[in-house]
């Protein structure tokens, strides 16, 4: 049968081509549905790390032992400054990705960065004084990221469902302008 230049079945497409399109679009919807939960998974992982930090990281060596091995950690005021800079940068970056409609899978790297802040404070013996700063920053960043991912997936799934309905009615993909 004849096909368009963009590899989409023409109006007289065969049933197998139509079924292939339907399966492809359905797979995209399923992938987007799974991806939309990524922010919540990152938030859950952050909560686990936060609980360990709250307990003082019982599985890690005492800060004095780590200090003997690694050297002195940065002073708490420097960690505070970097945490503040990181928080604002992460939020601005996430909001700019949301405005641009970019599919970016960065939620878990934020959990890693926030874990590093917990660890820096732990080894600087300043975790008790700064726990809530890291926790609040983490909840804020990950909430914005989770919303960004969810809204991206919601919009993309809406478009895919519209494509699915069009293919069911017409047997081909709609022509995008």
User: Is 26 a member of any domain?
Assistant: yes
pLDDT of 67 reads 84
SS3 138: helix
User: Is 126 a member of any domain?
Assistant: yes
pLDDT of 1 reads 40
d(CA 60, CA 134) in angstroms, rounded, equals 19
User: Is 49 a member of any domain?
Assistant: yes
SS3 124: coil
Partners of 3 in the beta sheet? 9
User: Is 87 a member of any domain?
Assistant: yes
User: Is 176 a member of any domain?
Assistant: no
Axis-axis angle for helices 107-123, 38-54 (nearest 10): 10
At 174, list the tokens: 């709609």
Could you tell me the residue range of the domain that residue 150 belongs to? 15-170
User: Is 21 a member of any domain?
Assistant: yes
User: Is 1 a member of any domain?
Assistant: no
Radius of gyration from C-alpha coordinates of the chain: 23
User: Is 116 a member of any domain?
Assistant: yes
Structural domain count of the chain? 1
pLDDT of 34 reads 87
From first to last of its 177 residues, the chain has per-residue pLDDT tens of 444 444 454 455 577 777 888 888 888 889 888 888 888 999 999 999 999 999 999 998 888 888 888 888 899 999 999 999 999 999 999 999 999 988 777 789 999 999 999 999 999 999 999 999 999 999 999 999 999 999 999 998 999 898 888 888 876 666 664
């Amino acid at each position: 049968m004849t096909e368009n230049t963009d590899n989409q079945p023409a109006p007289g497409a065969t049933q197998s081509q139509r079924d292939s399109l339907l399966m492809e679009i359905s797979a995209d919807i399923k992938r987007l549905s799974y991806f939309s939960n990524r922010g919540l998974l990152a938030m859950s992982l952050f909560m686990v790390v936060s609980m360990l930090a709250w307990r003082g990281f019982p599985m890690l060596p005492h800060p004095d032992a780590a200090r003997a091995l690694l050297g002195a950690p940065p002073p708490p005021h420097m960690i505070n400054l970097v945490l503040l800079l990181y928080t604002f940068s992460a939020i601005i970056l996430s909001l700019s990705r949301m405005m641009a409609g970019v599919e970016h899978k960065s939620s878990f790297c934020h959990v890693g960065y926030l874990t590093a802040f917990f660890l820096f404070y732990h080894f600087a013996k300043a975790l008790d004084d700064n726990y809530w700063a890291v926790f609040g920053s983490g909840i804020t960043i990950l909430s914005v990221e989770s919303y960004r991912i969810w809204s991206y997936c919601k919009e993309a799934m809406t478009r895919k469902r519209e494509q699915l309905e069009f293919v069911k009615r017409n047997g081909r993909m709609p022509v995008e302008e």
